[in-house]
Structure 1
Amino acid sequence: MAAGQAANGPYDVDVDPARAGWEHSSLRVLTLPPHGSHTFPTGDSEWIVLPLSGGCTVRVADLTFALHGRPDVFSQVTDFAYLPRDSRALISSEAGGRFALAGARCERALPARYGPAAGVPVELRGTGSCSRQVNNFASAPAGDGAAPGGFACDRLIAVEVLTPGGNWSSYPPHKHDESRPGEESELEEIYYFEIAAAHGTPGLGYQRVSPSGRGRGTDVLAEVRTGDTVLIPDGWHGPSIAAPGHAMYYLNVMAGPGPERRWLIRDHPDHAWIRDTWPDQPTDPRLPLYTAPAAPPAPTGDAR
């Protein structure tokens, strides 16, 4: 969906299961002006409030979380807040900003919590022109041992991916549209894009989704710009291609019906060999674009 096509009411992007034609994953992007606020019910879903630019205060039940946020997605890791289902949340911002709400239908009402930026694992994947950075703020255990997933959610899986200009990510193409115990988990996925401008020129990129023989047979080659969204109910997805000179950011939001919250993928058999070349190449020296901040020191002295 091009920027604007997924807008609805107060949201720049509003993708829910009914609108997407699936069952589990949701994404909203909310822009607040200075001194702006927005209240919404969480309903049958858990949500993470993730600042894209600016900071905010999140209130849910009798808890208040002050999110420091960041200037933009290309500058630093951000803190975030987790909201349980069957709640009512208020987001307010003194200076204004843009905030992603990543959601998933769930069964359990887990406690509302604050996620510090210092606790976000920053991972480098691939090498050479396949190098990219992944901010695993709400990742889930993966079959290859990567992305261990330390932040507890019931169903929601969400990560940020940063790809330097000219590189390919989400490569080799992979899929997760059927349940194969220990091999593949069934997950609906949303890609939300932002592309860095350069020399005063807006950037662009490309996203490929090809049929896997399952489900709808999704077949997409999309030019993507800041604010665009690609829905992936099934199929091989990748590459995500960053145009030279323009770094690409995307937020991945996933959820599915499986009894276990896992991120298990199968590589496309025609392209899986590319992984074997990675040990012979260096990681792109432009990465990481940034790392998570150091954790604050533990308190010392008399704690009474």
Structure 2
Amino acid sequence: MSDKKLHGLHLRAGSTADGPYALRIAPAEAGWDYAGLRVLELEPGGSHLLTAGDSEWIVLPLRGGCTVHTQDGIFELHGRESVFGGVSDFAYVPRDARAQIASGVGGRFALAGAKCERRLPARYGPAPEVPVEARGSGIQAREVHNFAAAGAFACDRLIAVEVITPGGHWSSYPPHKHDEHRPGEESELEEIYYFEIDRGGVGYQRISPSRPGGADLLAEVRTGDAVLVPDGWHGPSIAEPGRPMYYLNVMAGPGAEREWLIRFHPDHTAEGYR
């Protein structure tokens, strides 16, 4: 796939497929500078060579396990049965590296990436060390896996977390944004949401403008869909009753410090976020 501009903010499952990738979002295609995401599908016994180029990557099993071979080491990822099966281990692949991803059982693997400057060492992220956060309460309760949050795992620019929203619950709430640099208050970050919904269900994602002509979206999302958030107040993300919703957030931006600072919509309180 060439670096052509992707059409729209809501990318339906299969619309960006490219070879072994069920989903491929490069920064230039998204119309921004840093954040990227690929979803790799491997048949049993399959393998794939990842050339990192000018980006750092995290290989995160969505379904199944794999082995990640790099010049700095070999990392066995046990993975999980599905994104609803708990926290997964993962591997970090630095820029200017090559990694062979192989899976005996086959599976589906997220490759979360960000263009960066520093080359950090390849590393293994054990599942037991992933900080798991219970956020919100009542129908705003959800579970956050902060596997590559700014304070949890060292990257140059990449920030990535997973969120499990129970059926009938709201998450990514209250609406918030991170599209301006305000020291100590808000960081400028591009963001991708990748969704999976349990048992063929649906979810809903809202983005409302934070500036004239800014991002504006109300989308019904299904497994394999992605949503781009270049700017704007994003949230809520809403799960269908009885169908838990998963999403992977991939973020990166130009700030000198790798930090995830958000500003809440002034018409909402931060109560549901905590």
Q: Does the CA contact (< 8 Å) of 2:148 and 2:159 recur in 1?
A: yes
How many angstroms apart in 2 are the aligned matches of 1:117 and 1:164? Answer: 21
- How far did residue 7 of structure 1 move? 1.1
Q: Does the CA contact (< 8 Å) of 2:56 and 2:116 recur in 1?
A: yes
Where structure 1 has 5 or more consecutive residues not aligned to the other structure, the ranges are 141-148, 280-304
> Where in structure 2 are the equivalents of 1:78-227 lying within 5 Å?
78-140=88-150, 149-197=151-199, 202-213=200-211, 217-227=214-224
> Which has more radius of gyration?
1
Secondary structure at the counterpart of residue 118 of structure 1: helix
How many angstroms apart in 1 are the aligned matches of 2:27 and 2:132? Answer: 29
Which position in structure 1 is the counterpart of 2:6? Answer: none
> Where in structure 2 are the equivalents of 1:243-282 lying within 5 Å?
243-272=240-269, 275=271
Q: Does the CA contact (< 8 Å) of 2:57 and 2:94 recur in 1?
A: yes
How many angstroms apart in 2 are the aligned matches of 1:185 and 1:52? Answer: 28
Secondary structure at the counterpart of residue 139 of structure 2: helix
- AA matched with 1:208: R
4+ runs deviating over 2 angstroms: none
How many residues of Structure 1 are paired with residues of Structure 2 in the alignment? 264
Which position in structure 2 is the counterpart of 1:239? Answer: 236
> Per-residue displacement from partner, 1:69-96 (whole Å, max 9, x unpaired)?
0000101110000000001111000010
Which position in structure 1 is the counterpart of 2:67? Answer: 57
Q: Superposition RMSD on alpha carbons, in Å?
A: 1.2
TM-score under structure 2 length normalisation: 0.94
Secondary structure at the counterpart of residue 129 of structure 1: helix
How many angstroms apart in 1 are the aligned matches of 2:258 and 2:73? Answer: 26
Q: State the identity %.
A: 70
How many angstroms apart in 1 are the aligned matches of 2:193 and 2:267? Answer: 23
> Per-residue displacement from partner, 1:176-203 (whole Å, max 9, x unpaired)?
0010000000000000000011xxxx10
- AA matched with 1:49: V
How many angstroms apart in 1 are the aligned matches of 2:230 and 2:202? Answer: 23
Q: Does the CA contact (< 8 Å) of 1:128 and 1:278 recur in 2?
A: no
TM-score under structure 1 length normalisation: 0.85
Secondary structure at the counterpart of residue 173 of structure 2: coil
How many angstroms apart in 1 are the aligned matches of 2:181 and 2:105? Answer: 45
The farther-off stretch of 6-15 and 162-171 is 6-15
Q: Does the CA contact (< 8 Å) of 2:135 and 2:273 recur in 1?
A: no
| Larger strand fraction of residues | 2
Pairing partner for 1:21 from 18, 21, 31: 31
Where structure 2 has 5 or more consecutive residues not aligned to the other structure, the ranges are 1-10
> Per-residue displacement from partner, 1:129-151 (whole Å, max 9, x unpaired)?
111100000001xxxxxxxx221
- How far did residue 278 of structure 1 move? 8.1
Secondary structure at the counterpart of residue 254 of structure 2: coil
Which position in structure 1 is the counterpart of 2:46? Answer: 36
